Amino acid sequence: MPVHKIENDTEEALLRVEHLSQYFKKGRSLNKAVSDVSFSIKKGEVFGLVGESGCGKTTTGRAIIGLYQPTSGEIWYGGERIDGLGKRGRKKLASKIQMIYQDPMSSLDPRMTVYDIIAEGLLIRGERDRKYLDDKVYGILDLVGLTKEHAARYPHEFSGGQRQRIGIARAVVMEPELIIADEPVSALDVSVQAQVINLLNDLRQRLGLTILFVAHDLSVVKYFSDRIGVMYFGRLVELAASEELFKHPLHPYTRSLLSAIPLPDPVFEKKRQRQVYRPGEDGDPDHLGEDTELLEVRSGHFVRCTEKVRESLNGELNESL
């Protein structure tokens, strides 16, 4: 009997994704981009969603904002079911959930000024008052570290980091409660990644934002996320509080992701061994088979495995305490 299924973890949840599956037809075969993914995000929380390219992170985000009709499963926002909303429903949802995209260059229309890019969502919402629009646009530019003078310029006149600030301004100006940040720094120079992360962290605190932060690299989400979900080939394989996940990674795929993070200490860095996850090999107890599900190994720490593996992992953890 599975114990404590993830959907019980719904108290104060702002967003609940329940058994989401999103398949795409590819010729005669089916691409199971997202399979039976469940998680919830509490108000004010930063939830990191991590996994390698193609594991279904963006698809999950796009399903949440209503760009896809899920193959199965449900998505709840507050008390309202939001999967399968029509165009009007999605428009209403846009004032609550906003997305920040990976590549700020291709997500900003090159023919629009920064002012028009930021004001667009407000105009779609029906705002017409010029003074209101000016105040909002200039106010938000200031908040993201740009200036009023930037408003009349075009995206190509900015650096990558500045462009991402424009992308953030466009999302935040709508005063959303939830922001889905889809790899917002992975296209940026390492030197500006930290600045953009700091800006997001600052905005989160000032505006009380809830954030779903997507990344393929655990090091990016480490300090920023309260909880982290690890995805592998369309499935959630581990979910835990950030600190717990780094201290006690249980799924072999999470361990392999952790082993890929370079260490700041040159002595340890020399010893660091990259682990590669090969499901079913090297004595791996099956963590992905049909009889596995996301089970709670200890309070708030979930791993995809069988009941038998759950028991042995639980024993392992208790011994390590």
Ligand X SMILES: Nc1ncnc2c1ncn2[C@@H]1O[C@H](COP(=O)(O)OP(=O)(O)OP(=O)(O)O)[C@@H](O)[C@H]1O
- Please choose, out of 55-63, 120-128, 129-137, 222-230, the segment that lies near ligand X by the rule CB under 6 A: 55-63
The residues in 49-108 that bind Mg ion, with binding defined as CB under 5 A, are 58
- Give the one entry of Mg ion, ligand X, none that residue 252 binds, where binding means its C-beta sits below a cut-off of 5 to 8 angstroms depending on kind: none
- Spatial separation of the C-alpha atoms in residues 212 and 60, rounded to whole Å: 11
Nearest distance in Å: CB 21, ligand X: 12
Q: Does 53 bind ligand X (CB under 6 A)?
A: yes
Q: Does 161 bind ligand X (CB under 6 A)?
A: no
- Please choose, out of 56-64, 244-252, 260-268, 307-315, the segment that lies near ligand X by the rule CB under 6 A: 56-64
- Binding test (CB under 6 A) with ligand X, winner from 55, 75, 143, 236: 55
Contacts 24+ apart (CB under 8 A), 57-62: 57/182, 57/183, 57/214, 57/216, 57/231, 58/102, 58/182, 58/214, 59/22, 59/33, 59/34, 60/17, 60/20, 60/22, 60/34, 60/231, 61/99, 61/180, 61/182, 61/212, 61/214
Nearest distance in Å: CB 3, ligand X: 29
Q: Which residues pair with 240 in a beta bridge?
A: 228
Closer by beta carbon to Mg ion, 187 or else 317: 187
- Spatial separation of the C-alpha atoms in residues 22 and 60, rounded to whole Å: 8
- Spatial separation of the C-alpha atoms in residues 116 and 105, rounded to whole Å: 16
DSSP 229-269: EEEETTEEEEEEEHHHHHHS--SHHHHHHHHTSPPSSHHHH
Q: Does 95 bind ligand X (CB under 6 A)?
A: no
Token output for 187: 């296209």
Q: Does 235 bind ligand X (CB under 6 A)?
A: no
Q: Does 199 bind ligand X (CB under 6 A)?
A: no
- Give the one entry of ligand X, Mg ion, none that residue 56 binds, where binding means its C-beta sits below a cut-off of 5 to 8 angstroms depending on kind: ligand X
Comparing every residue's Cβ against Mg ion, the nearest one is 58
- Report the Cα–Cα distance between both ends of the chain, in Å, rounded: 26
- Please choose, out of 57-65, 170-178, 200-208, 260-268, the segment that lies near ligand X by the rule CB under 6 A: 57-65
Count of residues binding ligand X (CB under 6 A)? 12
3-state SS track over 11-79: CCEEEEEEEEEEEEEECCEEEEEEEEEEEEEECCCEEEEECCCCCCHHHHHHHHCCCCCCCEEEEEECC
- Please choose, out of 54-62, 167-175, 196-204, 282-290, the segment that lies near ligand X by the rule CB under 6 A: 54-62
Q: Does 54 bind ligand X (CB under 6 A)?
A: yes
- Give the one entry of Mg ion, ligand X, none that residue 59 binds, where binding means its C-beta sits below a cut-off of 5 to 8 angstroms depending on kind: ligand X
Q: Does 292 bind Mg ion (CB under 5 A)?
A: no
For ligand X, the binding residues (CB under 6 A) are 24, 31, 33, 51, 53-59, 216
Residues that bind Mg ion (CB under 5 A): 58
